Amino acid sequence: MFAISGGSTKLSDFGEILHPEQASEPILAKAVRSALLEWLTEIWAAEDLLAVDLKPRKRALFHGAPGTGKTTLAHHLAARLGLPLLLVRPERIQAQYMGASAQAIGRLFDAVRAAPEPIFLFFDEFDSLAATRLTGASTAALDHNHTINTLLANFDAFDGFVVAATNMGSGLDPAIWRRFEIQIELALPGDHERQRIIERYMAPFVLPKASLAALSRAMETASPALMRSFAENIKRQIVVGPKAGWVMNRDAVISRVIETVKPHPDLGLPRLWSVGVADHAVSQFPWPLEKDIAAYPAERAPVAGGEIVPLNRRGS
């Protein structure tokens, strides 16, 4: 790893630096995977594009609800390009006194240009920094409009990659919005992605396919972040619970997890959180969890309501 500094201002003054080797590949819906692949293909074809007087597009907006993977995707993309990512936090730019935010933007781009290698710029919560310019001559309006103009000028002069994340996309200044040549929406994951996300974060434990499918259905409208917390909290309880003397039967563990891990208030409440341990997905959840699918009993497992559902021994 290397230290990145640019002139007197350090890049880390503006946010965190995420290195390529720390990135993990997100589980993406088909539409997002295609959009990403199209962009990468274009970037890799830079020389051929130059032959027809074009450059690859370098600025993208990622829209999506909280926890849908905007930061994860940007980090993954930067890693595929072999670049460190600077995660710029709006609070590191925004300042109380007149002209200070615009100055901070200038210093940020100076530091990026002075860095010893190219930096992939990622603006988190971009709506709060780049809201539509204000009318009127109030100090607040003049200051905000100056910030936006400075941002526009720096975007135009900057030749590197810039991704900005927004929760809604509306409310961005139209001229800023036009600077972004690519728009990628990170929708909530569909059933297939939910199953893969649960599978990934439950590892090294494995779930029979029927249980995975039931859990995924009970988690409709869950963000990847919520699913990750759910799975990781179950694993944490499996390790810590017995040492701490907690009741460790399935319903007790799952109900503690549902209590601890809360869905984001802006997203709908997934069924598992409204129904709780009475949910069909809980009676389908194997207990104790195993790391080898063959370790689960092959016999048919009774579930709530007397219905009989076969557990898939192979789990594929």
Ligand X SMILES: Nc1ncnc2c1ncn2[C@@H]1O[C@H](COP(=O)(O)OP(=O)(O)OP(=O)(O)O)[C@@H](O)[C@H]1O
Residues of this chain that bind ligand X (CB under 6 A): 26-28, 64, 66-72, 165, 197, 224-225, 228
How far apart are CB 222 and ligand X at their closest, in Å? Answer: 11
Task: Decide if residue 223 touches Mg ion (CB under 5 A).
Answer: no
How far apart are CB 185 and ligand X at their closest, in Å? Answer: 11
Whichever of 123 and 285 has its CB closer to Mg ion, that residue is 123
Q: Using the rule CB under 5 A, give the single segment among 71-79, 209-217, 255-263, 291-299 that binds Mg ion.
A: 71-79
Whichever of 26 and 286 has its CB closer to ligand X, that residue is 26
Rounded Cα distance, 75 and 124, in Å: 12
How far apart are CB 165 and ligand X at their closest, in Å? Answer: 6
How far apart are CB 24 and ligand X at their closest, in Å? Answer: 6
How far apart are CB 75 and ligand X at their closest, in Å? Answer: 8
Rounded Cα distance, 150 and 155, in Å: 9
Task: Decide if residue 68 touches Mg ion (CB under 5 A).
Answer: no
Task: Decide if residue 71 touches Mg ion (CB under 5 A).
Answer: yes
Q: Are strands 308-309 and 301-302 parallel, antiparallel or unpaired?
A: antiparallel
Whichever of 110 and 185 has its CB closer to ligand X, that residue is 185
Q: Using the rule CB under 5 A, give the single segment among 17-25, 45-53, 62-70, 187-195 that binds Mg ion.
A: 62-70
User: Is there a contact between 165 and 190 (Cβ–Cβ < 8 Å)?
Assistant: no
Whichever of 22 and 138 has its CB closer to ligand X, that residue is 22
Rounded Cα distance, 177 and 131, in Å: 10
The site partner of 66 among Mg ion, ligand X, none (C-beta below 5 to 8 Å per kind) is: ligand X
Residue 315, classed as helix, strand or coil, is coil
User: Is there a contact between 262 and 274 (Cβ–Cβ < 8 Å)?
Assistant: no
How far apart are CB 235 and ligand X at their closest, in Å? Answer: 14
* Non-local CB neighbours of 170 within 8 Å, separated by 6+ positions: none
Number of Cβ within 10 Å of residue 19's Cβ equals 15
Of 32, 63, 35, the residue nearest 125 (C-alpha):
63
Whichever of 20 and 241 has its CB closer to Mg ion, that residue is 20
Number of Cβ within 10 Å of residue 30's Cβ equals 10
Whichever of 78 and 225 has its CB closer to ligand X, that residue is 225
How many residues touch Mg ion under the rule CB under 5 A: the total is 2
**Residue in this structure with the two tokens 């557990």, named with its chain if needed:** 311
Residue type, 89: R
The site partner of 26 among ligand X, Mg ion, none (C-beta below 5 to 8 Å per kind) is: ligand X
The DSSP string of 191-250 is HHHHHHHHHHHHTTSB--HHHHHHHHHHTTT--HHHHHHHHHHHHHHHHHHHHHT---SH
Whichever of 78 and 115 has its CB closer to ligand X, that residue is 78
Report the interface residues with Mg ion, using CB under 5 A: 70-71
